[in-house]
Amino acid sequence: MIESFYHAFHGIWVGLREERNVRIHLVAAVAVIALGLWLRVDLTSWALLALAIGLVLTTEFLNTALEHLVDISAGHEYHQSARYAKDTAAAAVLCASFMAAAVGCAVFLPRLAHVLHG
């Protein structure tokens, strides 16, 4: 079991080291957490934010894994079906990101409006 955790954490490290989008999503997650702490969101809002963050990071890691597998199977040559696989995996990340943004707006906009218009 310890070896499984090692490989999982190694995957996180590889994603952070090699993939710009993983780093972008992680920075966004830290910003969301900081904003949530500053605005003192309630427990239900934290649950929604955590699910949204987890969904985006999970789809980004799956997208990265799929991209590597497609590159291997395509022999690093262009294939239309390889492009479609990569594009649809990227679309999954985009959908997750849009939904996370919607959750963020639902949680943060009313609170920010209250803070700004006190």
Alpha-carbon distance of 98 to 69, in angstroms, equals 26
Contact 98, 90 (CB under 8 A): no
Q: Quick one: which H or E segment has residue 23?
A: helix 20-39
Catalytic-labelled residue, pool 18, 19, 60, 77: 60
Q: Is 96 exposed, middle or buried (0-12, 13-18, 19+ CB in 10 A)?
A: buried
* Look-up of token digits 């949680």: 107
Quickly tell me which residue has 């499984």 as its tokens: 4
Helix (H) or strand (E) holding 11: helix 2-18
3 is catalytic: no
Q: Catalogue the active-site residues.
A: 60
